[in-house]
Chain A
Amino acid sequence: MRRVVILLLALVLSPSLAGVALAQGTLRIGMTASDIPYTGGQTDNGFEGFRFVGYQIYEPLIAWDLTRGDRLAPLVPGLAESWEARKDQPTKWVFKLRKGVTFHDGSPFNADAVVFSYESIKKKDAPHFDPYGSGQVSFRLASLTGITKIDDHTVEFETNKPTSFVPYQVCYMLIVSPTQWQKFKDWRKFAEQPSGTGPFRVTRFVPRERLELEANKTYWDAKRRPKIDKLVLLPLPEPTTRLAALRSGQVDWVEVPPPDAIPQLKGAGFQIVMNSYPHNWTHTLRLDKEPWSNKLVRKAANYAIDRVGICKSLLNDTCIPATGVVYKGHPWFGKPKEIYEYNPAKAKELLKQAGFDGTRHPAKAVQLISTSGSGQMLPLAMNELIQKNLKEVGIDVDLQPVEWNTLLTRWRAGFKTPENEGLNAWNISWNFLEPWSGFGRFFHSKSVVPVSVNTMPYINPEADKLIDEAERTFDVAKQNEILARLHEVVVDDAPWIFVVHDQNPRALSTKVKGFVQPQSWFVDLTAVTVR
């Protein structure tokens, strides 16, 4: 009996042979997503879905160049070699498609595949319409109203009005294999055996547990064929579990390690990689009610925040101070007149000018925050520090924490519902990948709820003019200049309390080499090697 017990113990405790002799070049990633992102084409789970599934299995016509970290990731040719709006009809865009590309199932990539993919998102009565995928991406293709096949390697998109933002929309439309879909005629079955043109192909899919992919050895871009053989994706939403999985060697790469653990990870020899990317963490203020209706109070709040303190003490340098919508060095930063920094004296002075004496008549506000959530960083700790900072200058802020999905639901409804009537701000982190997500949806008067998410509402004819002008400007450099001027206007108006930009920390084991973290929400895994 004792021998049986000892034998059992030995078997259970000995490191398994499979674990020791891992396939050379297998990268195992612990994601923050709580489930495997949808593999049927137009992926879910937000940008993490695009990052590890969407842009690895599939490709868009226009892609992001993720190979460098020293500049913002720009848009470059993907499955399309070139594109331009027709001079005679600027609502029509002609895309010339890349030749000689095949899907994972062997069928050729051509205009039919592009039309098929577009219809799966936009054409509700098509047999290949994907209601779930459409729900995920349709709103990102808001300007696209139609598509025509010109020939096997040319398509023409039609838009609802002349807009230079088309490339910023097309980059989200992933191209799926019609041939593979026709085998199943069902998106769920297709999602279990997907077929795209991307650098990785799916080999095994266990719902909610793991996704295994292998390198696509016939990927069309010979310079970017993956160096690893195998990629394994694991959903690990609990930060402590993710950390333990990395520390114990069960994964080689984790997203968003808990900031407190970073010194400990560095000490144990793990690589911490970070870079700026289009993310900001702010309080979006309600502009039609006191106290934030007063521009001086808004500016005062921006001068009251100790951003450096938040980044150094709370977040172990995994963020940088935010003094605007975008970060310094971004093409849209411009030259704002105000540089918001920690200056409580100036904040108090501004408040006095606004008529709020700190002792007798404090400014009061109720801010809705979340307890966690994608991109929200450490909301409770950060908000408590902000509350303290604001109190010190004479602004009393009452924090109301709710669950993340609840916060999003209430935000979409806007401030003017009975439930939200008493609120003065929401604390939600944003991305600014394109002119629309950075500025259009918030600062244009046409974006007021429920059309879009200008909940403040921010109504400024000058901003409207600049956004419209940017949309009419097809030269990217000139467009960036216009958006930079817009940024200056917004920074001066201070419709938000700008707090920090996340630096997207990742923890990698020493075995992982060759990874360049781009200034982007997405990554290129093709240059990575594992030991």
Chain B
Amino acid sequence: MWTYVGRRLLLAIPTLLGASIIVFAMVHLAPGDPIAAVMPAESSKAEIEATKRAYGFDKPLPVQYLVWLGRVAQGDLGRSIATRRAVILDVRDALANSLVLALSSSLLAFAGGVGLGLLAAFRQGRSLDKVASMVAVVGVSIPHYWAGIILIIVFSVQLNWLPAMGAADGGGPIEYLRHMALPTVALALIPLGVITRVVRSAALDILSQEFVLALRAKGLAGRRVFTHVVKNAAPQIFTVLGLQFGFQLGGSVLVEAVFSWPGTGYLLNLAIFQRDIPVLQGVILVLATFFVLLNLVVDLLQTLVDPRIVRH
């Protein structure tokens, strides 16, 4: 198995390199540059060109890319052009906030999704199934930033129960939880829907197999059958969970923008408008690494759960 892990990690390197080249190219394709984006609107072209030269942005793109790559190899992600802070510090703080949000919304989606999905499968055709399926469809269909805005209107503005924005830096754990509540719910809606549907169909698939009929004919109690069904459906469910967690982490841009939640999505959003290339490169690299590792972990977990799957 360790050769499998080793090979996967080695294969990750070209993936990460490819991701960083694509980001670098795309940011430079966009008109404007990091210097023009942070200088005053009234500065003239001559002034901006002078500042660009001072920062080394007039060098050819491949040279700029290789310089960056060289620094990364030494563990230096560079400095943000807008704040002059080390990128690694910004990324670390943002990643922590995004992870918290992704984990809590994934937990919410997981608990809700598995519960609803199994409920729907075991009560197939009956009204509970219909309700659960409807919740799933609604969850998948609602844009989560819209849901976020509605949650703000209802719970922040009208009822004044929960705060509308930010992460209440320095307010303590209870304040942090309060600030986290609405974005978590907003972010959990889509995975909730997806997981419900996947769990439902996976469970139904297992339930329709002959061995389940055989188990019941043998007189096995409902709860034991349930356990067998869940164990058999688990690999599929894990794959989806892993993917959804990955999406939570990378796809939280809009929810973080609506709530001003200081995570990686918010940081990316800001960096794109500021054309802050070191920050963009740094965040994407870290996120891409995370995805690669996450996929690896999910694959390994599957082998643990299902002995039929063998990795070479």
A interface vs B, CB < 8 Å?
Answer: 11-13, 15-16, 18-19, 34-35, 44, 46, 131-132, 135-136, 138-139, 187-188, 191, 204, 206-210, 234, 236, 238, 240-241, 244-245, 247-250, 374, 402-403, 405-406, 408-410, 412-414, 428, 431, 437, 441, 449-453
- CB contact between B273 and one of A34, A210, A236, A244 (< 8 Å): that residue: A34
Known: A35-B82, A35-B270, A241-B258. A248 touches B46 (CB 8 A): no
Question: A residues within 8 A CB of B169?
Answer: 206, 209-210
Chain A residue nearest to B40 (CB atoms) is: A46
Asked if B32 contacts A408 (CB within 8 A), the reply is: yes
Q: Which residues of B contact A11 (CB under 8 A)?
A: 174, 177
- Tell whether, in the assembled complex, residue B258 and residue A240 are in contact, meaning their CB atoms are under 8 Å apart: yes
Are B260's CB and A248's CB within 8 A? no
A207–B267 alpha-carbon span in the complex (Å):
11
B31 at the interface (CB under 8 A from A): yes
Instruction: Mark B16-47 against chain A: 1 for CB-CB distance below 8 A, else 0.
Output: 00000000000000111101111111111111
Contact A12 B178 (CB under 8 A): yes
Given known A-B contacts A16-B171, A46-B40, A208 and B267 have beta carbons under 8 A apart: yes
Closest-by-CB residue of A relative to B89 is A207
Q: Are A234 and B166 in contact (CB under 8 A)?
A: yes
**Chain B residues, Cβ within 8 Å of A453:** 42, 44
Contacts of A46 in B (CB 8 A): 40-41
- In the bound assembly, the distance between CA atoms of A431 and B41 in angstroms comes to 10
Within 8 Å of chain A (Cβ to Cβ): is B156? yes
CA distance A234 to B167 in the complex (A): 12
Q: Considering the chains assembled together, what is the distance between the CA atoms of A374 and B39 in angstroms? A: 13
| Chain A to chain B contacts (Cβ below 8 Å), 24 pairs | A16-B172, A18-B171, A34-B270, A44-B39, A135-B35, A135-B39, A135-B47, A136-B39, A206-B169, A209-B167, A240-B258, A241-B164, A241-B165, A244-B152, A248-B164, A250-B163, A402-B31, A405-B31, A406-B31, A408-B32, A409-B32, A412-B43, A412-B48, A453-B44
Beta-carbon contact of A208 and B262 below 8 Å: yes
Question: What is the CA–CA distance of A453 and B161 in the complex, to the nearest angstrom?
Answer: 50
Q: A241-B258, A441-B42, A449-B45 are in contact. Are A412 and B177 (CB under 8 A)?
A: no
Q: Give which listed residue, A16, A132, A403, contacts B84 with CB less than 8 A.
A: A132
B28 to chain A, nearest CB (A): 13
B169–chain A nearest beta-carbon distance, Å = 5
Which residues of B are found within 8 Å of A238, using beta-carbon distances? 257-258, 260
B153: Cβ under 8 A from any A Cβ? yes
User: 3 closest Cβ contacts across the A-B interface?
Assistant: A244-B164, A248-B156, A247-B157
**CB-defined contacts of B47 to chain A, threshold 8 Å:** 135, 138-139
- Kindly state whether residue B129 has any CB partner on chain A within 8 Å: no
A406 to B149, CA, bound (A): 28
Give the CA-CA distance A431 to B85 in the complex, in Å: 31
Q: In the bound complex, what is the Cα–Cα distance between A208 and B267 (angstroms)? A: 9
